[in-house]
Structure 1
Amino acid sequence: MIYAALIFGLLGSFHCVGMCGPIAFLLPLDRKNRSKRILQLLSYHSGRIFMYAIIGMAFGMVGKGLNLFGIQQQLSIGVGLLMIISILLPIKIFNRYNFSKPIYKAVGKIKSSIGTELKKKDPGTFFTIGYLNGLLPCGLVYMAVFGALATGGALQGSLYMIVFGLGTIPLMTTAIYLGNFLKGTVKQQIVKAIPVIVVVIGMLFILRGLGLGIPYISPSEMVTVEQVGAHHSCH
């Protein structure tokens, strides 16, 4: 399902530009030295991807723990359903219950830290900004986290989120250089396509969990690393 992470990253970056664009536009890049500017951008993206990797590892470990109970396929189905439900449910329901209220304070602190870093021009500033940027709430990141959870392993979950992060680099970099370069109907059409892609990927996760015997998409048996090890120890 790594390709799903790449699709999330590439298409989700249109959403990312809207959410994280203001931070990216304010990066204190060296506009005179091209080589230095490229290194600063790489440092920023490395910080974001490093945080995504940590998040992916954490949720991959949770998925691994659930797999030990033999519910890997059920987990994949559950993740797919969560993706689809999160798209289909009216946003008013989330606003009514205000799920994000408990984390407003933490988000405020993160934004404050980013604001402080934006005033600096130290070598580690760009990595720190990217690292903190990766902690900010983002719906597309949440969708990718669901995918990391379903991978059923710390390394797999980390890799899933790294690939997601790599997918966001081209558009985020273009936005930093050119500003809000996509306008009008093109941008609207791409934004409208994102929920459709999320639903399709959710359906792929459900198919994966159903074990219909379709190679690569829905294998009849999902074998975990632990199960393989246990099988070899019996011989």
Structure 2
Amino acid sequence: MIEPLSLLTALLLGLFGSTHCLVMCGGIAAAIGSQAGERRLQTALAFNSGRILSYTLAGALVGALGLWLQGLHDDLMLWLRTLAAIMLILMGLYVARWSMLLTRFEQIGSHVWKRLQPLTGRFMRSTAIKDQLLLGMLWGWLPCGLIYSTLSWVAANGQPALGAAAMFAFGLGTLPALFASTMAGSLLSTLLNHRHIRALAGLLLIGYGLWTGWVVWVHP
């Protein structure tokens, strides 16, 4: 069953974590937008659609992994949900800029990215819409602590469909900032970077993480 609260949380994770996305992907988003010229809008849509498609696929895969672990032993899901609660708290601390511990998870996928990164070169030099879509799909696998932590939380649901939907919502949350970056906009990123907005978003995520942990251990 698709849980609206989970989808809302995923959307918030993407939206308020997108300042980190601007650090990781803002440069390429601005570069391909500048290169596209009059086709900047189509390029922005293609690149970001590719990213979100990869996030959705990853969500389905980790959801299936969680379902498989649940089939092996119920205790595995208990610990996976506990890990998800911890990840939510870490994401809240990261979004509020109270702790950068989350970024250390980016080292996990560095070996995979070394194999994928050379493939991005030819697509970055192309202005064809299909190549920008493929570039976005490749860029969706860029090592990112925010994405990995969200995937860990998604895996705890043990539902491939929910995992895909949650990561799609996460991708939609990251869309405004990166779309604005491609279109040479900066107002939204300035707003999201406001310390009061970051603090509020962080507290909401930390609260949801604490509630998740409480449900796991008090009402397993």
**TM-score category by the smaller chain?**
0.7 to 0.9
Q: Is the helix fraction higher in 1 or 2?
A: 2
Deviation at 1:181, TM superposition (A): 4.7
Assess, with a 3 A threshold, how the Cα gap between structure 1 residues 83 and 132 changes in structure 2: closer, same or farther: same
Aligned to 1:106: 112
Number of equivalent positions: 207
Deviation at 1:52, TM superposition (A): 0.6
Matched, 1:45 2:62: no
Q: Is 1:83–1:146's contact at 8 Å kept on the other side of the alignment?
A: no
Deviation at 1:180, TM superposition (A): 4.7
TM score, norm. by length of structure 1: 0.73
Q: Gaps spanning 5+ residues in structure 2: where?
A: 1-5
Deviation at 1:8, TM superposition (A): 0.3
Deviation at 1:116, TM superposition (A): 2.5
Task: Give me the identity figure in percent.
Answer: 24
Query: Given the alignment, which residue of 70, 74, 80 partners 1:75?
Result: 80
Q: Aligned equivalents of 2:190 and 2:51: distance in 1?
A: 28
Aligned to 2:143: 137
Matched, 1:64 2:67: yes
TM score, norm. by length of structure 2: 0.77
* Higher alpha-carbon Rg: 1
Assess, with a 3 A threshold, how the Cα gap between structure 1 residues 57 and 151 changes in structure 2: closer, same or farther: same
Task: Find the residue that maps to 1:26 and give its secondary structure.
Answer: helix
Q: Gaps spanning 5+ residues in structure 1: where?
A: 213-220, 222-235
1:114-148 per-residue CA deviation (whole Å, 9 max, x = no partner) reads 23311112231111111111110111111210221
Q: Is 1:75–1:209's contact at 8 Å kept on the other side of the alignment?
A: no
Aligned to 1:205: 212
Aligned to 1:2: 7
Q: Aligned equivalents of 1:173 and 1:47: distance in 2?
A: 13
RMSD of aligned Cα (Å): 3.2
1:63-90 per-residue CA deviation (whole Å, 9 max, x = no partner) reads 1122222244443223212443685997
> What is the one-letter code of the residue matched to 1:187?
N
